[in-house]
Structures are given as structure tokens and as C-alpha cells.
Amino acid sequence: MGYCCRNDISLLPWSHHTAKQTGPDDEALNNQRELSAEMGIHFPGLKNIDKPVVWVFTELVVCLDCGTTEFAVPEAELRILAKDDAAAAG
């Protein structure tokens, strides 16, 4: 669950987390924007230098007050990350 400056909430409306709303007007959700993103995810450290970057194209929600951002990694890319992590673990 994310920690936004306004509340202990999940920013994504489709998230499996639930928001603790501050009132009937959903004040905690007023200054957030849905945006599109392209990002490269990689494992840290020199030992992972040979692993390819996993490119993710997803929607995200940003709190414009504090910068807290929440997004979901699409299933196909998540499988790649999980496979690479399992290979690194042995």
C-alpha cells in the first residue's frame, strides 16, 4: 500500500488495495493525475550488468502534492522479471 502525503492509500482506482478515505468528498484523491509512462526496469548492481532492461509501458497515478506514484507492471513483463530473479537466486 502506498503512503501519500494526504493519507495511507492506494492511488490506483483499479488496485487490489483499498483507500482509507478522509471524507465523503474523497479529499485524498483530489490532486492526483493518471499519466502514461515508459520505463526501463533493471536489477541493481554490477553482478546484474548482463541482464537486459525490461521495458514497461504502463499507466500510473501521481499525487501532485508529494510525488507518491503507483503503477502496476503488466503481466508479461512481470513474468520476465520473476524469471530473471529466480535465475539469479540459483
DSSP symbols for 4-54: -SS-EE---TT-SS----SSTT-GGGTTEEEEEEEEEE---SGGGTTSPPE
pLDDT tens for 37-85 read 999 999 999 998 998 899 999 999 998 888 889 999 999 999 999 987 7
Q: What is the pLDDT of residue 66?
A: 87
Q: What is the pLDDT of residue 39?
A: 95
CA distance 7 to 41: 28
- Give residue for cell 485524498: 28
Q: What is the pLDDT of residue 79?
A: 93
Q: What is the DSSP letter of 90?
A: -
pLDDT tens for 2-34 read 556 665 555 555 444 344 444 444 555 568 899
Domain count, the chain: 1
Domain that holds residue 15: 2-89
Q: What is the DSSP letter of 56?
A: E
Q: Is the pTM of this model over 0.75?
A: no
pLDDT higher than 60, residue 1: no
CA distance 75 to 87: 18
